[in-house]
């Protein structure tokens, strides 16, 4: 018995995505793989706030909320500075509905001014 290939829909949000070679969101059925959103700022509090605001906007485009998020990966230049922002992060996840998560310290992100990058997987 053959199964039909999984349909993958690639959504772009920014015109420059094709220049780099990626889609902001790849959708398979009811699952949305949201590419990493990178954020900088004066400090980690600002970067975390900006990233989750942007991610919230991306989720809303597909009628999703943080409660649909099942997996989160965070890449940070300074994991201790990121850990200090746990209270800010918790405000994004409504009613303590936290996803599976991985946090990794890295030496550099795509643009040198960025402090963190957050990617999500959400299910509708």
Q: Could you report the per-residue pLDDT of 61-80, keeping only the tens digit for each?
A: 999 999 999 999 999 999 99
Q: How confident is the model at residue 34 (pLDDT cuts 50, 70, 90)?
A: very high
Residues 6+ apart with CB under 8 A from 96: 90
Note the pLDDT of residue 97: 94
Phi, psi dihedrals of residue 74, rounded to the nearest 5°: -120, 130
Note the pLDDT of residue 1: 72
Domain edges within the chain: 24-123
Does the domain formed by 24-123 have CATH 3.40.50.970?
no
E-strand ranges in the chain read: 8-11, 25-28, 31-40, 69-76, 100-105, 114-123
Phi, psi dihedrals of residue 13, rounded to the nearest 5°: -115, -40
Q: How confident is the model at residue 6 (pLDDT cuts 50, 70, 90)?
A: confident
Distance, in Å, from the CA atom of 79 to the CA atom of 91, rounded to the nearest integer, reads 19
Supply the pTM of this predicted model.
0.93
Note the pLDDT of residue 31: 98
Note the pLDDT of residue 65: 97
């Amino acid at each position: 018995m053959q199964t039909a290939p999984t349909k993958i829909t690639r959504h772009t949000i920014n015109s420059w995505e094709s220049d780099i070679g990626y889609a902001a969101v790849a959708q398979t059925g009811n699952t949305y793989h949201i590419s990493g959103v990178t954020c900088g700022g004066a400090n980690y509090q600002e970067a975390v706030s900006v990233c989750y605001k942007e991610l919230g906007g991306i989720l809303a485009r597909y009628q999703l909320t943080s409660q649909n998020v099942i997996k989160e990966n965070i890449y940070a230049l300074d994991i201790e500075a990121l850990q200090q922002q746990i209270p800010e992060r918790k405000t994004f996840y409504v009613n303590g509905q936290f996803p599976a998560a991985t946090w990794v310290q890295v030496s550099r992100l795509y643009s040198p001014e960025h402090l963190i990058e957050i990617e999500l997987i959400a299910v509708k």
